[in-house]
């Protein structure tokens, strides 16, 4: 099965087996999606081809998440499903990547049967070699070393004709915060920043290959620092060079139409960041700013390093940067010691700030986190009730916001066909996002393709979490045409 080849540098290198197909499944956040994209590129560069099912693959990779759910249990069940396949084809290589891999390392090999490779986020480049070692009969291996000395960021390799409308670009990795509930500092290590020039280059590469939007990624994306940029506005440790990075990207890559980032920590949401939102034209009119709780008592126990009052000032300042700016957030309910009164404070904060959307989670104790020393004393039933009330509150606000958009015209960047697209009756449904990040669906004749097209839509209806829009022919006629196929819709990109 295995083939060896001599590389030009005369070192022995491994080549992929004659048949080399991989199946990659991703769990968790956008950073994991991004890491999976890079993993796919690294594998393809070594001769591997992606397939849609484990049955068709010689290599299965699970890129795991451990931030909330019972991650190891979930992984065990996913790997367990492959047991019959592994019994029939012992050559099948099963690799575990991502945060569970980093968190448990070598221990995973002992605890979960059938795993051949454990590979951490900073060891992705080693994956092809690790797989080849397995195919050559090596014992199972774990590689989970942070690149603390020689930090590197895997560069994207956009493929012609497969560029997404919105591309993800990493700006930093790791986290120096010590929020008591969070496992990320353990699974992703300390903060390391990617040089600004490298970031700008990658953004430019995506734009020249057709992406219209870039989403900057980092665990605390707004703590960014780089010596080549102008210094932070003051010695205040909350100030960072993230606002400068945003400005530099916008100035250096004029073809970029939209710029987003996730996830910022409220500590760095300073006046200079709000100013960037007011002044940098391509920045989204939306920010996802995780607050976690509205109670000062709980925020302190979470080690969030801001008070409710400070958060409100920061949020209002950002919301004032653009007339139609919106904000979403993350909330944890049932953190150890959270009383009814604390939870009411969270609901009142949601109303006070006017978030239009949120992600809500029941607190779950995570290994290696400081909050493990606190008693997980909020009963499951109370956590569930609080989560339900949280969703009721946000759904009222979110629905009112979406209703208020009916009749308005919005520039929508279409990502591709909707998940609900059935391509029946000569009509297709496409999905895109407004500058504020609301999801918009439109229905158009099926001979047209809206993938990666920026178009002006009139909002006709509001669903619970998305909008229905219409593209009007007469308005399109007045716009410059953008030919996509021989029978393309006369749509344009935003200028």
Task: Please state, in angstroms and as integers, the Cα–Cα distance from residue 136 to each residue in 1, 117, 129, 141, 309, following that order.
Answer: 8, 13, 10, 13, 60
| Pick 361 or 430: Cβ nearer ligand 5AD | 361
| Pick 286 or 366: Cβ nearer ligand 5AD | 366
Q: Are strands 49-50 and 59-64 parallel, antiparallel or unpaired?
A: unpaired
| Pick 330 or 344: Cβ nearer ligand 5AD | 330
| Pick 206 or 335: Cβ nearer ligand 5AD | 335
Mask: binding to ligand 5AD, 377-416, rule CB under 6 A, as x and -? ----------------------------------------
Q: How many residues bind ligand 5AD (CB under 6 A)?
A: 12
CA-to-CA distance for 120 and 41, rounded, in angstroms?
16
Pair 437, 356: CB distance under 8 Å: no
Pair 132, 179: CB distance under 8 Å: no
**Widest distance between CA atoms in the chain:** 69
Q: Which two tokens stand for residue 125?
A: 């480049």
**Of 48, 153, 361, 411, which lies in the binding site for ligand 5AD, with binding defined by CB under 6 A?**
361
Pick the piece of the chain touching ligand 5AD (CB under 6 A) from 146-154, 236-244, 356-364, 435-443. Answer: 356-364
CA-to-CA distance for 306 and 387, rounded, in angstroms?
23
Is residue 153 a contact point for ligand 5AD (CB under 6 A)?
no
**Of 62, 153, 206, 363, which lies in the binding site for ligand 5AD, with binding defined by CB under 6 A?**
363
**Tokens 């397939």 identify what position?**
51
Residue 470 host element (H or E): strand 466-470
Minimum CB–partner distance for residue 299 and ligand 5AD (Å): 13
Is residue 121 a contact point for ligand 5AD (CB under 6 A)?
no
| Pick 277 or 288: Cβ nearer ligand 5AD | 288
**Of 157, 364, 385, 397, which lies in the binding site for ligand 5AD, with binding defined by CB under 6 A?**
364
Is residue 182 a contact point for ligand 5AD (CB under 6 A)?
yes
Task: Please name every residue paired with 166 in a beta bridge, in sequence order, or none if there are none.
Answer: 213
Is residue 296 a contact point for ligand 5AD (CB under 6 A)?
no
CA-to-CA distance for 331 and 334, rounded, in angstroms?
10
Pick the piece of the chain touching ligand 5AD (CB under 6 A) from 7-15, 47-55, 359-367, 435-443. Answer: 359-367
Q: Which ranges in 26-97 belong to alpha helices (H)?
A: 30-45, 71-81, 83-88
Mask: binding to ligand 5AD, 27-66, rule CB under 6 A, as x and -? ----------------------------------------
Pick the piece of the chain touching ligand 5AD (CB under 6 A) from 19-27, 43-51, 317-325, 358-366. Answer: 358-366
Is residue 292 a contact point for ligand 5AD (CB under 6 A)?
yes
Is residue 198 a contact point for ligand 5AD (CB under 6 A)?
no
| Pick 206 or 363: Cβ nearer ligand 5AD | 363
Is residue 288 a contact point for ligand 5AD (CB under 6 A)?
no
Is residue 294 a contact point for ligand 5AD (CB under 6 A)?
no
Q: Which ranges in 265-423 belong to alpha helices (H)?
A: 271-279, 296-301, 308-319, 340-353, 380-403
| Pick 347 or 479: Cβ nearer ligand 5AD | 347
Pair 171, 259: CB distance under 8 Å: no
Is residue 343 a contact point for ligand 5AD (CB under 6 A)?
no
Is residue 290 a contact point for ligand 5AD (CB under 6 A)?
yes
Contacts of 179 (CB under 8 A, 6+ apart): 292, 302, 303, 304
N residues, the chain = 495
| Pick 70 or 461: Cβ nearer ligand 5AD | 70
Q: Which ranges in 82-195 belong to alpha helices (H)?
A: 83-88, 98-104, 106-111, 127-135, 184-188
Tell me how crowded residue 322 is: count the other CB atoms within 10 A of its CB.
Answer: 17
| E strands, 239-311, in order | 258-262, 286-288
**Of 16, 39, 67, 276, which lies in the binding site for ligand 5AD, with binding defined by CB under 6 A?**
67
How many CA atoms lie less than 13 Å away from 479 in the CB half-sphere? Answer: 19
Q: Which two tokens stand for residue 156?
A: 């994207």
Task: Please name every residue paired with 414 in a beta bridge, in sequence order, or none if there are none.
Answer: 432
DSSP code of residue 475: H
Minimum CB–partner distance for residue 222 and ligand 5AD (Å): 14
| Pick 205 or 366: Cβ nearer ligand 5AD | 366
CA-to-CA distance for 39 and 35, rounded, in angstroms?
6
CA-to-CA distance for 44 and 128, rounded, in angstroms?
9
Pick the piece of the chain touching ligand 5AD (CB under 6 A) from 41-49, 238-246, 362-370, 410-418. Answer: 362-370
DSSP code of residue 280: -
Pick the piece of the chain touching ligand 5AD (CB under 6 A) from 363-371, 389-397, 407-415, 468-476. Answer: 363-371
Is residue 98 a contact point for ligand 5AD (CB under 6 A)?
no
Residue 244 host element (H or E): helix 242-252
| Window 301 to 340, contacts with ligand 5AD (CB under 6 A) | 330, 332
Is residue 14 a contact point for ligand 5AD (CB under 6 A)?
no
Is residue 68 a contact point for ligand 5AD (CB under 6 A)?
yes
**Of 34, 260, 277, 366, which lies in the binding site for ligand 5AD, with binding defined by CB under 6 A?**
366
Residues that bind ligand 5AD (CB under 6 A): 67-68, 181-182, 290, 292, 330, 332, 361, 363-364, 366
């Amino acid at each position: 099965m295995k083939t060896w080849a001599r590389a030009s540098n005369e070192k022995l290198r491994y080549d992929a087996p004659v048949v080399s197909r991989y199946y990659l499944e991703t769990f968790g956040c956008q950073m994991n999606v991004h890491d999976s994209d890079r993993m796919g590129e690294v594998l393809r560069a070594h001769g591997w081809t992606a397939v849609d099912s484990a049955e068709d693959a010689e290599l299965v990779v699970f890129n795991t998440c451990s931030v909330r759910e019972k991650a190891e249990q979930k992984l065990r069940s996913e790997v367990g499903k492959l047991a019959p396949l592994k019994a029939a084809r012992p050559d099948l290589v099963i690799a575990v990547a991502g945060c569970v891999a980093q968190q448990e390392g070598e221990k995973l090999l002992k605890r979960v049967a059938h795993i051949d490779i454990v590979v951490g986020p900073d060891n992705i480049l080693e994956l092809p070699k690790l797989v080849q070692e397995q195919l050559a009969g090596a014992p199972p291996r774990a590689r989970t070393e942070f690149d603390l000395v020689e930090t590197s960021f895997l560069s994207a390799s956009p493929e012609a004709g497969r560029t997404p409308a919105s591309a993800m670009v990493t700006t930093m990795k790791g986290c120096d915060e010590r929020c008591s509930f969070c496992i990320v500092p353990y699974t992703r290590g300390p903060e390391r920043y990617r040089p600004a020039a490298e970031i700008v280059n990658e953004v430019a590469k995506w734009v020249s290959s057709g992406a219209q939007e870039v989403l900057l990624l980092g665990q605390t994306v707004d703590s960014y620092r780089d010596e080549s940029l102008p210094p932070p506005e003051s010695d205040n440790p909350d100030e960072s060079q993230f606002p400068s990075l945003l400005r530099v990207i916008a100035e250096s890559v004029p073809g970029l139409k939209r710029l987003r980032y996730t996830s910022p920590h409220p500590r760095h949401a300073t006046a200079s960041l709000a100013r960037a939102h007011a002044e940098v034209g391509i920045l989204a009119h939306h920010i996802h700013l995780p607050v976690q709780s509205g109670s000062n008592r709980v925020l302190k126990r979470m080690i969030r390093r801001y008070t409710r009052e400070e958060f409100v000032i920061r949020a209002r300042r950002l919301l004032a940067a653009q007339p139609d700016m919106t904000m979403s957030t993350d909330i944890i309910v049932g953190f150890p010691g959270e009383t009814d009164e604390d939870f009411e404070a969270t609901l009142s904060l949601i109303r006070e700030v006017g978030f239009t959307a949120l992600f809500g989670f029941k607190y779950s104790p995570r290994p290696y986190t400081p909050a493990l020393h606190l008693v997980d004393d909020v009963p499951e039933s109370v956590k569930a009730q609080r989560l339900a009330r949280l969703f009721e509150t946000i759904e009222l606000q979110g629905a009112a916001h979406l209703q208020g958009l009916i009749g308005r015209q919005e520039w929508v960047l279409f990502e591709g066909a909707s998940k609900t697209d059935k391509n029946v009756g000569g009509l297709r449904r496409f999905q895109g996002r407004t500058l504020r990040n609301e999801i918009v669906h439109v229905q158009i004749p099926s001979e047209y393709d809206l993938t990666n097209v920026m178009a002006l839509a009139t909002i006709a209806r509001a669903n619970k979490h998305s909008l229905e829009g219409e593209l009007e022919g007469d308005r399109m006629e007045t716009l410059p045409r953008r030919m996509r196929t021989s029978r393309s819709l006369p749509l344009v990109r935003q200028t």
